[in-house]
């Protein structure tokens, strides 16, 4: 590719297109959702606090699958985990990211645990950034035809 081809590609791929493409790519990225569910597997919210603990009654009702004192992991919440998604929005040149779920029990979970159930802990934000940077590089390479 010569300079003029590169300049033409650059002219046809605006920053707005790049931001839109990056948002769409991250919204549908399974690795990003896995960062959220990994925290729940540890029984932690976005602030690193424990989501809650199972009671003796829960242990009895679950037939011993869940043990009293174990942390909530949100595995048995109906379709909550399966319907968790990332929603990107643009504010100026910034992309904002929010996790949510369209699961039927979402409002009950938010009432019981709180809104901090969604979001990444600081230690997981570096992983998110790495995924975003990799996706951004791929987009630039593909759309500017750098490779």
**pTM across the whole model:** 0.81
- Find the domain containing 109 and state its range: 3-48+79-143
In angstroms, the CA 64 to CA 56 distance is 9
Q: What is the pLDDT along the chain (147 residues), one digit of tens a residue?
A: 555 565 565 667 677 788 888 888 899 899 999 999 999 999 999 999 999 999 999 999 999 999 999 999 998 888 999 999 999 988 887 889 999 999 999 999 999 999 999 999 999 999 999 999 999 989 888 877 776
Q: At CB < 8 A and 24+ separation, what contacts does 3-12 make?
A: 5/145, 6/144, 6/145, 9/143, 9/144, 9/145, 10/144
Contact 9, 85 (CB under 8 A): no
For the chain, how many structural domains are there in total? 1
Residue 60 lies in a domain: no
The C-alpha angle with vertex 128 and arms to 18 and 25, in degrees rounded to 5, equals 35
Residue 108 lies in a domain: yes
Find the helix packing angle between 122-143 and 15-27, rounded to 10°. 130
């Amino acid at each position: 590719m010569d300079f003029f081809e590169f300049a033409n590609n650059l002219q046809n791929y605006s920053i707005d297109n790049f931001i839109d493409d990056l948002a769409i790519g991250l919204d549908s990225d399974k690795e990003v959702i896995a960062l959220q569910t990994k925290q729940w597997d540890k029984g932690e919210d976005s602030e690193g606090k424990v989501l809650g603990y199972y009671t003796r009654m829960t242990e009895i009702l679950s037939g011993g699958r869940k043990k009293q004192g174990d942390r909530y992991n949100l595995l048995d919440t109906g379709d909550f985990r399966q319907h968790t998604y990332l929603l990107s929005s643009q504010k100026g040149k910034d992309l904002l990211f929010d996790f949510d779920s369209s699961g039927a029990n979402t409002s009950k979970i938010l009432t019981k645990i709180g809104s901090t159930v969604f979001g990444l802990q600081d230690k997981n934000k570096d992983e998110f950034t790495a995924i975003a940077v990799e996706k951004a590089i791929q987009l630039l390479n593909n759309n500017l035809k750098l490779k």
